[in-house]
Structure 1
Amino acid sequence: MTSQRIAVLGAGPMGLAAAYQLALDGHRPVVFEADDRIGGMTATMDFEGLDIERYYHFHCTSDRAFLKMLDELGLSDRMRWVATKMGYWYQGRLQAWGTPFALLAFKGLSLPAKIRAGLHAFLCIKRDDWKPLDHLEATGWLRRGVGDEAYEVLWRKLFELKFYDYTDKLSAAWIWSRIRRIGRSRYNLFKEKLGYLEGGSSTLLSGMKAAIEARGGEIRLSTPVRQVLIEEGGVRGVRLDGGDEHFDKVVSTVPLPYVSRLIPDLPSSVHAQFQALNNIAVVCVIARLRKPVSDKFWLNTNDPDMDIPGVVEYSNLRPMKDHIVYVPFYMPGEHPKFSDDNQVFLDKVKRYLCRINPELRDEDFIAMRASRYRHAQPICDPGYLERLPPARLPVRGLWAADTSHYYPEDRGISESIAFGRTLAKEVAA
């Protein structure tokens, strides 16, 4: 096989996985990243002396591509599995969640509603054929499955506080995949098992970076690509601040809404496909506390005084000296709330956590920080599979993909690795 020089745009898990596979197969990938660090949404930060992800991540036992990558990098011994707990904050009460016993004991649902909700979750976990769900609208599908009572208590606020005006414009296949992934990460009917890496995501990211560079690949940080250059129907290279650089092929893994700006010479019909895609933004607050909020890793919330869908107490998965809590505020990027000052979100989080655990005091909050990501998650509407632009663009040697392309699976490290490696094989062929 002839060695090719291939540009990879974006150093998130998908871009790194593509570059890793290209280097493994004897090619010369060069990864361009606008940020000053690798990782994208999995990148870590210095949080008052603690190296930790800006956005929360966890791993399921079904994350095969992620576990295979760890094995290839010699990092499998850094993986830890923990029996975690879920909870539900409803009507001012913290309740257990996530098991049949918790569902039966839940205060706020009638017995028929509980049975119907449990049966629907069981059928989702067992189901494999998702394509008939692609054209169905999610909230209507859920209402038919769990009934109006369970939908109002368990689902309506979760949708509205993440998708706002897009709440009734989502594919049932997308929410089905969320239910199934968590449901299948159990070692029995009553115990949930999730995983974390010793050292966090930087353990994986550093391992992938080292493997790419050891095989002759390059990773250039703080180096945004300004334009992908096209000539006579094929890729010529990329334009950087310092000039143009030739490449045999180019693979973009940056969010699809950026593609039209990066590749202005695409046909207008392709630009229209990209411009029709919508994304949810996130403001994610991370808090470092002296006391725990609860013993739950994942806590769904349904409270009229809280505009969040849930709380993730990460230190209940990965043991740490202090207690680490992530509180995400999801919303469409065009929503006025996204322009609020960070302090608005920090103040809300402090108030919400103290409401859930009244024993928390101001002095228990060691540090807090907010991070923002404009294109955090694709909005997958009914029929999304047909409208998604193919990764291979109508230009020789050019591909563009992001987390949308492994729909209906939700964005995740394992899914990005699997797709990135498969994409690299197609690119190199």
Structure 2
Amino acid sequence: MSRVVVIGAGAMGLAAAHRAVSLGHDVDLIEADTVAGGMAAHFDFGGVSIERFYHFVCKSDEPTFALMKELGIGDRMRWRPTSMGYYMKGKIHSWGDPISLLKFPHLSLIAKIRTGLQMFLTTKAKSFASIESKTARQWLESGSGREVYNTLWKRLMELKFYELANDVSASWIATRVRRIGNSRRSIFQEELGYIEGGSQALVDALVSAYTTQGGRLHLGMPVERIETEAGRATGVTAAGKFFPADAVISTVPTPYISTLVPSLPEESKAKYDAIRNIGVVCLLFKLKKSVSRNFWINIVDETIEIPGLIEFSNLRPVEDTIVYIPYYMPTSQEKWQWSDSQFVEEAFGYLRKVNPAITRDDLIEAKVGRLKHAQPVCEPNFLDKLPPIQTPIAGLQIADTCYYYPEDRGIAESVRYGRNMAEALT
């Protein structure tokens, strides 16, 4: 039995700590926040327990299902028919199935055929190695055509990645298309899932299983340094307290690593520092009235500076309408400095543009959440730029959400990587 310290009690850290303690290790799980769960944690939103940041489950998310079964909550998985829309030129257009594509008024017939074929082939692909060196724009334009990219994708990419929009990997985009495209009841009906009680139900089950087996959870303890001696990890200092360890697993964002581990070789530090991230300001609105029937609406409109909105209550039933509006952006953007009230005022105005029937009286409550390192920017050949999970320091493993590449961030990948790191302990 080894003494193990896991840093970060998000989904990946929780999965790693739970698996490590199940394998017989003596485990301390350390988290800077006062609650466990990271981006999957809930908060009280006017009487509704809701995710800080939206989550949904796809039918390919096998690690999530296996863990839920292991934790005894496998029967809490729920599936619901969902739909996507495109807001363009003052109207919401249906999207995501062959009939909607054919009826879409803002593409030529040849563009519709090309994009339908590219998306279909993407859902059937086993690997994206052949497009790994391409950007998302290059791949989309070569397959669907420039008309499709300029009409459907360009504005969305620019409003998420800004000056980094042309640096995004084709493999990363293609993997997202495949994941969503394969979560269907039929070719005509998308079907996404949620956990009854929300993602907090999984967080609570993990925490309970972990602590019941003797694992120790330390909340509100920011890690100051990962300690090493003679090329080996010896423990972690957090909030002035030293936690001795034979092995350390870090799941905190990679931008923090070169500071947390001063003894890393300079070459390794440079690799972590080179991984770019963008932040997110995520707004939640509670409304009396629904915005649309869609779970997800992509927005392509020169007068609206958000790439979309997520009407979460069209997936997980709650009493009122719950809408997420994420502002992704590099933190160097001037808008990142806006106050919460500025974001709320602008975003609510956008909601009213998308659905003019919504009035000020329909707004029950609004909440703003922020993350500085919310989304890694995965460029072509991104895997070649990632340092190995097992670092040059013996007993120290490091990974965060960028290691899921080409998969995007998600609970299933968090579970898979967390468990893999625990099983790699010696």
1:352 partnered with 2:373: no
Structure-1 separation of matches of 2:130 and 2:206: 37
Paired position in structure 2 for 1:57: 55
1:2-401 equivalence runs, <5 A: 3-401=1-399
Q: Secondary structure at the match of 1:266?
A: coil
Contact map agreement 1:137 1:169 (CA 8 A) in 2? yes
Q: Secondary structure at the match of 1:374?
A: strand
Instruction: Point out the more displaced range, 231-240 or 94-103.
Output: 231-240
TM-score by length of structure 1 reads 0.98
TM-score by length of structure 2 reads 0.99
Structure-2 separation of matches of 1:231 and 1:248: 11
Query: Which letter does structure 2 place at the counterpart of 1:276?
Result: A
Contact map agreement 2:28 2:217 (CA 8 A) in 1? yes
Q: Where do 4+ consecutive residues of structure 1 move more than 4 Å? A: none
Runs of at least 5 residues in structure 2 that lack an aligned partner in the other structure? none
Structure-2 separation of matches of 1:404 and 1:14: 12
Q: Secondary structure at the match of 1:132?
A: helix
Cα displacement string for residues 167-226 of structure 1 (whole angstroms, at most 9, x for unaligned residues): 111111100001000000012100101011111111000000011111111111101111
Structure-1 separation of matches of 2:328 and 2:292: 22
Q: Out of 387, 409, 412, which is 1:411 matched to?
A: 409
Query: Which letter does structure 2 place at the counterpart of 1:302?
Result: V
Question: How far did 1:240 drift?
Answer: 2.3
Contact map agreement 1:234 1:396 (CA 8 A) in 2? yes
Between the aligned residues of both structures, percent identity stands at 45
Structure-2 separation of matches of 1:269 and 1:112: 49
Structure-2 separation of matches of 1:139 and 1:121: 14
Question: How far did 1:243 drift?
Answer: 2.9
Question: How far did 1:271 drift?
Answer: 0.6
Q: Secondary structure at the match of 2:144?
A: helix
Question: How far did 1:67 drift?
Answer: 0.6
Structure-1 separation of matches of 2:198 and 2:283: 18
Query: Which letter does structure 2 place at the counterpart of 1:288?
Result: K
Contact map agreement 2:184 2:191 (CA 8 A) in 1? yes
Query: Which letter does structure 2 place at the counterpart of 1:47?
Result: F
Structure-2 separation of matches of 1:322 and 1:25: 43
Structure-2 separation of matches of 1:217 and 1:351: 47
Question: How far did 1:280 drift?
Answer: 1.3
Question: How far did 1:242 drift?
Answer: 3.2
Cα displacement string for residues 136-169 of structure 1 (whole angstroms, at most 9, x for unaligned residues): 1111111111111111111111110001111111
Query: Which letter does structure 2 place at the counterpart of 1:331?
Result: M
Query: Which letter does structure 2 place at the counterpart of 1:238?
Result: V
Question: How far did 1:43 drift?
Answer: 1.3
Cα displacement string for residues 245-283 of structure 1 (whole angstroms, at most 9, x for unaligned residues): 211111100001111111111110011001111001100
Structure-2 separation of matches of 1:77 and 1:243: 40
Query: Which letter does structure 2 place at the counterpart of 1:33?
Result: E
Structure-2 separation of matches of 1:425 and 1:24: 10
Q: Secondary structure at the match of 2:175?
A: helix
Structure-2 separation of matches of 1:154 and 1:240: 46
Structure-2 separation of matches of 1:400 and 1:384: 17
Query: Which letter does structure 1 place at the counterpart of 2:407?
Result: E
Q: How many residues align?
A: 426
Contact map agreement 1:138 1:168 (CA 8 A) in 2? yes
Runs of at least 5 residues in structure 1 that lack an aligned partner in the other structure? none
Cα displacement string for residues 358-391 of structure 1 (whole angstroms, at most 9, x for unaligned residues): 1111110000011001111110011111011111
Question: How far did 1:419 drift?
Answer: 1.0
CA RMSD of aligned residues (A): 0.9
Query: Which letter does structure 2 place at the counterpart of 1:380?
Result: C
Contact map agreement 1:80 1:196 (CA 8 A) in 2? yes
Q: Secondary structure at the match of 2:298?
A: strand
Structure-2 separation of matches of 1:43 and 1:334: 27
Q: Secondary structure at the match of 1:167?
A: helix
Contact map agreement 2:279 2:372 (CA 8 A) in 1? yes
Contact map agreement 2:5 2:243 (CA 8 A) in 1? no
Q: Secondary structure at the match of 1:389?
A: coil
Instruction: Point out the more displaced range, 247-256 or 44-53.
Output: 44-53
Contact map agreement 1:134 1:385 (CA 8 A) in 2? no
Structure-1 separation of matches of 2:23 and 2:74: 22
Question: How far did 1:42 drift?
Answer: 1.0
